[in-house]
Chains A and B, each alone.
Chain A
């Protein structure tokens, strides 16, 4: 295999020229240079051949046996979604029931002093108030976010 050596200043730009990644001015410069420089012209041709050889040598055929099964496993995806939804709904229902039951029991129990019941009511109302405040802020932020359409 014959290799061509070149020490020209544009040697590195030959790669950029081959890949069509130079500015118009640089491209013109390289084009003019290779018209007169035989070693650079030969090197460019050699690099073009090498590219073709690389493509053939490193080509990986997407054999059906290689394709990831996870991509086509719809049942697993459906089961995954179903599992998550059921888990979240279940946890939500149980938590609501627990806090509701606790609140009813404490607030209606005559043995609990009035100031404790007042405190419990305050804590519950406080949590509801804070939740509504955060929810409102999030909603406003999502509506007025000027970077919303910026693609990452």
Chain B
């Protein structure tokens, strides 16, 4: 369900992105709603779809950072349990499938910087140019940061797997 507004097509992805930054579904929904509202009221919104997508994710990111600043959580830390519970599984996915929970847990143990780049790439399929624009970093930095994030996720996941899903080490 995407609704009639063009930005609604990125709703699910943007919500996942906001959850990855805030670690809380309710706050993430508020931030995405704020971004959607802004997309309706902003005077200068890019006209082509690719640029709109980048613009929208930037707005979501800034809204999340503002919220974190208000909440005085500038270390951007999240609560592992709250994060893993923040995703609503659809019924076709085996509810509480072990690996899914492990991946979420491993993701929660990464740094905010690593989580955001992974979610933007793997879930939202942003190109390296788009990632550079949204994260406001050089294109060359995107590949190295993304690779480090993938390797960190892999390490955390293997630690969790070895512990039988009990690992809860801080990042």
Contact = CB atoms under 8 A, between A and B. Distances in A.
**Mutual binders A and B:** yes
Interface stretch (B46-54, B64-72, B74-82): B46-54
Which of A1, A54, A57: most chain B CB closer than 10 A? A57
Interface string B83-122: 0000111100100010111011001000000000011011
Contacts of A64: 1
Interface stretch (A12-20, A104-112, A118-126, A135-143): A12-20
Contacts of A13: 143
Interface of B is mostly: helix
B2 to A, nearest CB: 7
Contacts of B104: 57-58
Interface in A7-28: 11-16, 19, 21
A12 B147 contact: yes
A86 interface: no
B122 to A, nearest CB: 4
A59 B154 contact: no
Nearest to B35: A68
B60 interface: no
B128 A21 contact: yes
Contact of A67 (B1, B103, B147, B162): B1
Contacts of B93: 56, 59
Interface residues of A, number: 35
B153 A50 contact: yes
Contacts of B58: none
B158 A3 contact: yes
B36 A68 contact: yes
B154 A50 contact: yes
A62 B154 contact: no
A56 B100 contact: yes
Contacts of A51: 122
Nearest to B157: A1
10 contacts: A15-B146, A15-B150, A19-B121, A47-B154, A50-B153, A62-B8, A66-B11, A67-B1, A68-B36, A152-B46
Given A66-B15, A70-B33, 18 more contacts: A1-B157, A3-B154, A11-B147, A15-B143, A15-B146, A19-B146, A54-B103, A54-B123, A54-B153, A57-B99, A57-B104, A58-B87, A59-B90, A66-B11, A68-B36, A71-B8, A151-B46, A151-B47
**Closest 8 A-B residue pairs measured CB to CB?**
A57-B103, A15-B147, A1-B161, A54-B122, A68-B33, A60-B16, A62-B12, A57-B100
Interface of B: 1-5, 8, 11-13, 15-16, 19-20, 29, 32-33, 36-37, 40, 44, 46-48, 51, 87-90, 93, 97, 99-101, 103-104, 107, 118-119, 121-123, 127-128, 143-144, 146-147, 150, 153-155, 157-158, 161-162
